[in-house]
Amino acid sequence: MLLGGVSSAVAQCDCPYCTAGAAAPAAPNYAGCICERQALLGDWLGTRSCMLAHGMQWDIDQTEFYFGVASGGKEQRFTFAGHGDFLLNWDLGKAGIQEGMFVKLRAEHRYGESISGSDGAILPATVLTDLPAPGSNDVFLTNVLFTQFLSEDFAIFAGKLDTLEGDANLFAHKRGKDQFSNLAFVVNPLLLRSVPYATLGTGFILLQDQAPIFTFTVLNSTNTASTAGFNELFANGVSLIAETRLPYEIGGKQGHQLLGGSWSSREYVSLGQDPRVVLPDVPIDRASGTWGLYWNMDQYLVHYCDDSTKGWGMFARASVADDRANPLASFFSIGVGGDSPLACRRQDTFGVGYYYLETSNQIGPFLEAALGPIGDGNGVEMFYNVEVTPWFHLTADMQVLEPEQKDFNTALLVGLRGKISF
């Protein structure tokens, strides 16, 4: 029984790990002309609207990347790759099953050949093309998450979850398919050592005005994106993540400050294979446990007179980590992004960002034995996302990357990203 009257209208959370918490958005437009509806396949002969009325919202999309290294880097080539995302958010209160309970299911797959590694950088230029498992075309279930609200301001969750939705930011986030493509502007890369991509976990959320302000999560310490994970549960230790994200306003313009920390008890004896970074699996000095501290902010600077809900602003991220077990020691990024400044194209979005990545002095020698000279890296990414129709977005992207592998020159990457919502 609920401690408070949680409305079944509460859905579509902004928080890292659940599907509930903020006021429900307007119902998607599935009907009408093919040029106006939000999904290519429309209302599925009325089935979609019926399911939505019973709390089941489907978000299915396919994102394709044609990217290449035009100059510099490790090798000049262009590749084609893609990613399929099948997401179901189910409000069991609307279904008449359990008031205040939400279920999130996500299945993912990738295909084609990723550009990762061709630029000589550690962070993938198109992170989504390597998820959920590099080199595999299989479909993996990366979210089976149950969230139960015990009051309007407190919820608990448990299940299998992917962590790419943590470290939320208004202008630099969105899983690498709606805003920036480079991992550096999707999530803080120093978290990747202590926070696996997809695994079993549990935790709780505190909310204020229906917005999550604090999340605490206990995770299995190893990535189990391709398995159920029960056989490996806490066999190699535990990961703990605490994150607070506080909203504020300056001159009537919205902003957020996020501060978080992660710690893992896992024993590290090699770099391991993580789908979110480009590193060989080489042995390192044994290290027990690792930690990371991270911060990000977003702040609107301009709201447009013709549409006060749209505008643009700035973002920044910074982090430090224990470099005995983490190949990355510190990170900083800054940039601007938001809705198009063109009055006739407010539905488009844009972004420009810069990042600096410091590598570990302690793990550097192990990497150098496998890759050659290693140093710090930095890069710039800029994109413009055109809404061709509400269900089809085409993004032009350019990146200039100074690789961590110092045998290679500065890489210029150019590419196109197309996202179709079904």
The predicted-structure confidence for 125-143, as pLDDT tens digits, reads as follows: 999 999 999 889 999 999 9
The two structure tokens encoding residue 242? 């605490």
Residue 12 pLDDT: 44
Distances (CA, A) of 4 to 97, 99, 148, 150, 209: 17, 11, 12, 7, 14
The two structure tokens encoding residue 71? 């100059």
Residues in Cβ contact with 255 at an 8 Å cutoff, skipping those fewer than 6 apart: 247, 248, 249, 297, 298, 299, 300, 313
Give yes or no for a contact between 378 and 390, defined as CB atoms under 8 angstroms apart. no
Give yes or no for a contact between 70 and 398, defined as CB atoms under 8 angstroms apart. no
Q: What are phi and psi of 231, to 5 degrees?
A: -70, -20
Residue 254 pLDDT: 94
Residue 303 pLDDT: 95
Distances (CA, A) of 227 to 4, 232, 363: 36, 9, 29
Give yes or no for a contact between 153 and 208, defined as CB atoms under 8 angstroms apart. yes
How far apart (Å, rounded) are the C-alpha atoms in residues 26 and 85? 22
The pTM for the full model equals 0.92
Class level of CATH domain 65-84+114-138+146-421: mainly beta
Residue 373 preceded by cis peptide, ω within 30 = no
Residue 17 pLDDT: 46
Q: Pick from 312, 180, 161: which is nearest to 223 by CA?
A: 161
The two structure tokens encoding residue 382? 């800029």
Q: What are the structural domain ranges in the chain?
A: 65-84+114-138+146-421
- Low-confidence residues of the chain: pLDDT under 50: 1-24
Residue 57 pLDDT: 95
